[in-house]
Structure formats: C-alpha cells, structure tokens
Amino acid sequence: SQTIHQWPATLVQPVGSPLSLECTVEGTSNPNLYWYRQAAGRGLQLLFYSVGIGQISSEVPQNLSASRPQDRQFILSSKKLLLSDSGFYLCAWRQGSSETQYFGPGTRLLVL
C-alpha cells in the first residue's frame, strides 16, 4: 500500500532563516505531488505541484520554492523565512489515473 511521509512534524524557526521541508511517498511510482499551506483559521492554498522529476509548477508567487530531485521526493524550501510563512504545510500525492489526492500528516511551521 502507499504511504506518504512528511518531516519534520513541527518546526520553529527565526525570521530570516532557511527552510527545508521534505515529503516522500512510498509504494507508488511517478506520482503527481503537491504542496499546500493552511494558515491559521483559513482554508488550504495550493503552493506548488509536480507531475515529474524536475517539473515544478507554482500557483502563487511567494517566498518559497519547491524541488523534486527524485521520483517520490518533494521538497519545499525557503532561503529566508518571513513571519507570514507560518502555517501548516501539507504534502499530497495523486496517481495519474485517479482524481483523488492523499495527504501526508503535515508540518507545523512557526516563524518567530
């Protein structure tokens, strides 16, 4: 069966520091991968998606970037965090033939 992992689970970082969040999927190949952010008291917003290695599409201009160095690995990064980057970051995967996305457990980021 397929599983999706995210780490770290929780992160507290100072403003201006770098960021790297990792998402990996097991039990499938060539998945579509997604990064979402959920700000406090708000719905989820799609940040990036990837249909293959090295292929990244950005949905919203922002302080963040994404990379997909391997088929089942999706990384969310920032060179300098802002206070507004605080939130709950969720990674999701989808098999190309399916409509359904499956979500990871999330990373809670607090920027101070």
Q: Which of residues 14-33 bind other proteins (CB under 8 A)?
A: 32
Total residues found in the chain within this entry: 112
Rounded least distance, CB 14 to other proteins, Å: 23
Q: For other proteins, which stretch binds (CB under 8 A), given 20-28, 37-45, 65-73, 76-84?
A: 37-45
Our finding on whether 104 is near other proteins (CB under 8 A) is yes
- Which of 11, 51 has the CB closer to other proteins? 51
Residue whose tokens read 């929780």: 10
| Range 80-99, binding other proteins (CB under 8 A) | 90, 92, 94, 99
Q: Specify the 3-state DSSP secondary structure of 68.
A: strand
Closest approach, Cβ 11 to other proteins, in A, equals 14
- Residues interacting with other proteins, by CB under 8 A? 32, 34, 36, 42-46, 49, 51, 57, 59, 90, 92, 94, 99-106, 108
